[in-house]
Amino acid sequence: MKFVRFALALLPLFALTFSTQAFEDEKGWVSLFDGKTLKGWEANEKPECFQVKEGNLFLQGGMAHLFYIGEVEKHDFKNFEFKAEVKTAPSANSGIFFHTENRGKGGVKKGYEAQINNTFVKDPRKTASLVDVEDRLESPVKDDEWYQYYIMVKGKQIVIKINGKTIVDYTEVDKPVRKKGREERVLTHGTFALQAHDAESKTWFRNIMVKPLP
C-alpha cells in the first residue's frame, strides 16, 4: 500500500517531466505561413499562381516561384530544420528551394532544390530528390495524400526526410562539380522558395515551419 501511495505521489512529477520534454522538443519551431494570407512571401512572377485556399497555400498556373521574405532570421538562413505538409494532384511537379534568393523573373539558379514529383512523367526525378545532386527515381509517397517534407542543413550536411524516413543524407564536398547552369547549386545561405511548375500542376502546402540552428 505504501508503494502505491509513493507511486501516486510521483505521477505529477512524471507528468511535469514529460510535458517539459515535449515543450523542449518543439522549442524553436517558427511558422512561416499564417494559413490566411501570403504575408511574408513574394512571387518572382505570376503572383496569380499562389493562392490561400481553406487554410492551405495552393500552387497552380505556370512556372513561377514564391520566396519567403518575412521577419524570421531576416529571411536569411544558413543552418536550419524545415518542415511542411505537402499534397499533390496527379501529374503535379513542384519543389522547395533553400539557400536561394529572388532575382526576378525566370528560373531559380541559386541554392538547392528538394523535388516534389510523384507522377509527373516528363521528369524522372521524384519526390525527395536533391535535384541534380542526389536524385531518386521512385516516390516514397502518393498523390492526393498529405505527407510531411523535412529538410535539414547543418554545416555541409543536407538531410531530406519524408514522413520521418530519411531519403537523402548528403554531405557537400569542397568545390563540388556542378552541371553547366547549375554552378550555384551549393550551400551558402539564403531564403526558401516554393515552385509552381506548369498550368496543370496542383500542389498544396500547410504548416510551413522552420527551426534556425546555430
> Which set of grid coordinates corresponds to residue 19?
510535458
- Least confident among 26-30, 92-96, 133-137, 168-172: 26-30
Q: Give residue for cell 507528468.
A: 15
Q: How far apart, in whole angstroms, are the C-alpha atoms of residue 67 and residue 184?
A: 17
Sheet holding 112-116, edge to edge: 41-43, 64-68, 191-196, 94-100, 112-116
Chain-centre distance for alpha carbon 212: 13
pLDDT at 7: 43
Band of residue 9 on the pLDDT scale cut at 50, 70, 90 = very low
Q: How confident is the model at residue 27 (pLDDT cuts 50, 70, 90)?
A: confident
Write phi, then psi, for 21 (nearest 5 degrees): -60, -45
At 189, list the grid cell. Answer: 545561405
C-beta separation of 162 from 150 below 8 A: yes
pLDDT tens sequence across 79-127 = 999 999 999 999 999 999 999 999 999 999 999 999 999 999 999 999 9
| Per-residue pLDDT tens digits for 187-208 | 999 999 999 999 999 999 999 9
Asked if residues 159 and 144 have their Cβ atoms less than 8 Å apart, the reply is no
173-179 average pLDDT score: 95
- Over 70: is that where the pLDDT of 46 sits? yes
> Which candidate, 192, 22, 6, places its Cα nearest to that of 99?
192
Asked whether residue 22 carries a pLDDT value surpassing 90, the answer given is no
Domain boundary assignment for the chain: 31-212
* Residue 23 confidence (pLDDT) above 50: no
Residue 108 to residue 64: CA distance in whole angstroms: 9
pTM above 0.85, yes or no: yes
**Average pLDDT score over the chain:** 90
Residue 56: the pLDDT is 98
- Structure confidence at residue 26 (pLDDT): 65
pLDDT average, residue stretch 30-52: 98
* Residue 185: pLDDT over 70: yes
Span 31-212: which CATH code?
2.60.120.560
Query: How do strand 94-100 and strand 56-59 relate by DSSP bridges?
Result: unpaired
